[in-house]
């Protein structure tokens, strides 16, 4: 019998809480259900890389793109931590958006895809 759990991609990340305490979190990749929205986000941010100027990145951060990013990050967090309540989820994503957005892309896209 096949072990489909081996296909669940995970990544660990350390985040600091409000007190400065660092905690380790393990996040799962998105499911196939969220891939269309992920590709919308990737398309919206095409051309952005480590050398991009902050104003170039901010130009891409319109309401629709940010909404899509927040939605996907929330889906990633909820699937990884199903017991999180809605208020905790909202604050957690808001407080860690800058760290979670690159993780979302890295966790769900392999390096070969990112070169396209």
pTM for this model (two decimals):
0.85
User: Tokens for 48?
Assistant: 């952005």
CATH number of this structure's domain 4-115, picked from the four choices 3.30.2220, 1.20.1260, 1.20.950, 3.30.200? 3.30.2220
Provide the residue ranges of all domains of the chain, joining segments of one domain with +.
4-115
Q: Give the pLDDT confidence score for residue 12 in this predicted structure.
A: 96
Number of helices and strands (H, E) in the chain? 5, 2
What is the rounded CA–CA span in Å between residue 55 and residue 44? 15
Q: What is the pLDDT of residues 33-73, one digit of tens each?
A: 999 999 999 898 888 777 888 888 888 888 999 999 999 99
Residues in Cβ contact with 73 at an 8 Å cutoff, skipping those fewer than 6 apart:
93, 97, 100, 101, 104
């Amino acid at each position: 019998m096949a072990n489909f759990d081996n296909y669940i991609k995970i990544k660990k990340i350390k985040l600091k809480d409000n007190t400065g305490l660092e905690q380790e979190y393990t996040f799962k990749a998105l499911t196939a259900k969220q891939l269309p929205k992920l590709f919308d986000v990737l398309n919206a941010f095409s051309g952005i890389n480590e050398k991009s100027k902050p104003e170039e990145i901010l130009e891409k951060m319109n309401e629709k793109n940010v909404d899509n990013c927040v939605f996907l990050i929330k889906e990633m967090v909820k699937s990884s931590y199903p017991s999180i309540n809605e208020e905790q989820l909202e604050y957690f994503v808001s407080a860690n958006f800058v760290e979670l957005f690159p993780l979302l892309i890295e966790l769900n896209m392999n390096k070969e895809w990112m070169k396209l």
